[in-house]
Amino acid sequence: MGLMSINDLVEVEGQPLVLNVDLQGEKTLDWAQRNRDELESLVATNGAVLIKGLKVVSTGQFSKLLQTIFQGPLLEYQYRSTPRTGLKGNIYTATEYHASETILQHNENAYSNEWPLRLGFLCMQASPVGGETPIADSCKLYELIPQEIRDKFESKQLKYVRNYSDVDLPWQEVFQTSDKGEVEAFCRQKNIDFEWLPGDRLRTWQINPASIVHPVSGKKVWFNQAHLFHVSSLGKDMKESLINSLGKEFLPRNVYFGDGSEIDESELQLIRDLNQDLRIKFKWEKHNLMLIDNTRFSHGREPYEGNRKILVGMSAPSGFQFI
């Protein structure tokens, strides 16, 4: 089978997306090895591909499959922002938030100065109700955001502040170590400012851009997690409860402009709404494999009922080059 162009993909809600594969007795890994260059080209040009027809039965096989397609090792999930379980071969469970919760659209690690260029999602068990993983084009999002808001965010940049505790994630889980020296070394390497607080607590902050230039198209991409990190994303009641109990300075996570000034909540809500409007949703089926250009497409999660098991692997690190 030769994968030549986007014309091979079936559209979902107007977006070329689904690649139907007939293995004809060929092993999944052999098929991936034979078509890996065409697959990478397809992801690079289209941004996302949902592959149907493969057979992936184990975590180890999934890890080998992604390494074959992405033509490189998979990344460890460091400086994490959500709870996950690490499995064999740098494969992880999808974010382990309660089934009733919606996970808003986001580009993986867009709150950091390093992020994976490629994501691979595998459906091991589809939930009977809900549980979709919507995707949305971050280039289109950039174009839809009013210019005055874009200009403000781009000129001021964004300051992400995190306080690590049992309210959200302890620093030992985020940095995958209980050694303070290792945490400090990691922060210095990644240009993350940090401060140890009484009671073995840690606060970090980091200033990053609101947008980046896509490495293939050269277009501007809205690439940040301000709409997720800001306390307003939790809803009015939860926001007020956390501020009243912890104090704004000690919120588990929050975001400001780079100069420390407050971000208008109505502007963040506009960005959330635009992102939700851009969502492309599809129904998971067992063995479905979704490949994503993480710079271009965001992803989220719909609430679900019943059992659901989606695995993820990340590859091809990228990031800002600091001078």
Give 159-174 pLDDT, tens digit per residue. Answer: 999 999 888 888 998 8
Backbone φ and ψ for 210, nearest 5 degrees, come out as -90, -20
pLDDT at 98: 86
pLDDT at 319: 67
Q: Rounded to an integer, what distance in angstroms lies between the CA atom of residue 87 and that of residue 77?
A: 11
Q: What is the pLDDT of residues 178-207, one digit of tens each?
A: 999 999 999 999 899 999 999 899 999 999
pLDDT above 50 for 322: no
pLDDT at 323: 29
pLDDT at 317: 77
Q: Which residues pair with 310 in a beta bridge?
A: 123
* Average pLDDT over all residues of the chain: 92
pLDDT above 50 for 321: no
CA dihedral 152, 154, 156, 162 (to 10 degrees): 120
Q: Rounded to an integer, what distance in angstroms lies between the CA atom of residue 197 and that of residue 274?
A: 38
* Confidence band of 259 (pLDDT split at 50, 70, 90): very high
Q: Which residues pair with 10 in a beta bridge?
A: 18
Q: How many Å separate Cα 136 from the centre of its chain?
A: 12
pLDDT at 93: 85
pLDDT at 113: 87
Give the other-Cβ count within 10 Å of 227's Cβ: 23
Mean pLDDT over residues 94-112, rounded?
88
Half-sphere exposure of 163 toward its Cβ, with a 13 Å CA cutoff? 16
Could you tell me the two tokens for 177? 């170590």
Mean pLDDT over residues 130-136, rounded?
97
User: In the chain, what percentage of residues exceed pLDDT 90?
Assistant: 80
Mean pLDDT over residues 139-147, rounded?
98
Q: Identify the weakest region by mean pLDDT among 7-21, 276-290, 309-323.
A: 309-323
User: Where is pLDDT greater, at 144 or 1?
Assistant: 144
Q: Rounded to an integer, what distance in angstroms lies between the CA atom of residue 300 and that of residue 312?
A: 13
Could you tell me the two tokens for 285? 């089926």
pTM summary value: 0.92
Q: Identify the weakest region by mean pLDDT among 94-103, 125-134, 208-217, 226-235.
A: 94-103
